[in-house]
Amino acid sequence: VNAYESIPHDREGVVSMTVEMEQDYILVRVRDNGKGIPHQQIPGIFEMGFTTKGRRQMHGVGLYHCKQIMDAHKGSLSVQSELSVGTEFEVRLPRQQIEEIS
């Protein structure tokens, strides 16, 4: 939802996802060509309640919960972003955790 909402209306939006199997990790990348995240906001985006959408109900919880889930499963969640270019989120989860879950 965040990726879709970040794409300006004056351009064709692209949201892509890739999955790679590494020796010890499964790596998932989600990339968009949206407006990007200002660098000064990046340190806070995984905090509970962080939002750029105003104080409407139920905003500012999604990325927080994603980060909590990754931490609980010994994984990681990171972001790279460039204004007017787009954003990429990277989820790295130990393969052993996936095998135990399934």
CATH at 47: 3.30.565.10
- Of 59, 63, 3, 1, the closest CA to residue 34 belongs to 3
pLDDT of amino acid 69:
93
Domain total in the chain: 1
pLDDT of amino acid 96:
81
Rg (CA), the chain: 15
For 68, which DSSP code?
H
Q: In terms of DSSP bridges, do strands 86-94 and 76-82 run parallel, antiparallel, or are they unpaired?
A: antiparallel
pLDDT of amino acid 97:
66
pLDDT of amino acid 49:
85
pLDDT of amino acid 40:
96
- Of 67, 80, 76, 72, the closest CA to residue 30 belongs to 80
pLDDT of amino acid 3:
62
Neighbours of 35 (CB within 10 A): 17
Q: Which domain holds residue 97?
A: 2-101
Low-confidence ranges of the chain (pLDDT < 50): none
pLDDT of amino acid 42:
94
